Amino acid sequence: MARKSIELTCQQCRKPFESADYGQVLSCPHCGAKLQQVAQLGQLLEQWFYPRRWRADLHEPNQFYLIEKLWTANGQGVTLYEGIAPPHTNYDIFRNMVTRLVARGIDEGWVQLEFPDDPLEENPVYQLKFSDADRFARAVEGLFPEVDWDEQIEVPVPPEAAATEAPPDPKEPTPISSRRARRR
Ligand SMILES: [Zn+2]
């Protein structure tokens, strides 16, 4: 499928430009500023949401919400938290810190976020890959210097289809809907 060009906005000069190469670092054709992946993701989610903004089952997703959903999929967020057991840090804070870290990793290139060919379709599928597991583990260690790091970190391995599982029931939430994964 050929990718459609989508209009993005430069964060530097605020001018719009079209590109079909979302998912890679883009350069603004007007001022040359870089538009990185996480910022692109934010803009694409905004555009995805706009025509759906009246839907009661959705609220506006943002880039951090989606990144969190991907790296914590299948209980991996909890597994990582329990493995590290950082003192004085509850799971909510932990999840938030790691989500910011993963976002930084995406922009710095040591975590890969694959964009769907059509980010504006009903169920766009994003995939996260920890291509440099050591780098990720070191970065997580850096977040929690008070932890005894003798034990190896288990890097989350998002399944190929992390956000992609076709909902078995059409009423199930879409991958970027606001509903939280059901807790068991
Ligand atoms: Zn620009």
Annotated domain spans of the chain: 6-143
Q: What is the pLDDT of residues 99-144, one digit of tens each?
A: 999 999 999 999 999 999 999 999 999 999 998 989 999 999 899 9
Burial of 73 (0-12, 13-18, 19+ CB in 10 A): buried
- Give me ligand 1 centre to Cα 27, in Å: 8
| Residue 159, pLDDT score | 59
Q: What is the pLDDT of residues 28-64, one digit of tens each?
A: 999 999 999 999 999 999 999 999 999 999 888 999 9
The answer to whether 67 touches 103, Cβ cutoff 8 Å, is yes
| Residue 167, pLDDT score | 39
- Give me ligand 1 centre to Cα 17, in Å: 9
- Give me ligand 1 centre to Cα 23, in Å: 18
CA 77 – CA 108 distance, rounded (Å): 21
Helix (H, G, I), strand (E, B) or coil at 84: helix
CA 156 – CA 8 distance, rounded (Å): 31
- Mark out the alpha helices in 111-152 (DSSP H runs): 133-143
* Amino acid present at 43: Q
- Give me ligand 1 centre to Cα 43, in Å: 15
Q: What is the pLDDT of residues 145-168, one digit of tens each?
A: 888 777 667 777 765 544 434 333
Please give the structure tokens belonging to residue 53: 């903004």
Mean pLDDT of the region 78-100: 94
Q: Which of 150, 158, 157 is nearest to 84 (CA)?
A: 150
The pTM of this model reads 0.81
Q: What is the pLDDT of residues 11-25, one digit of tens each?
A: 999 999 999 999 999
* Percent helix, percent strand, percent coil in the chain, to nearest 5: 35, 10, 55
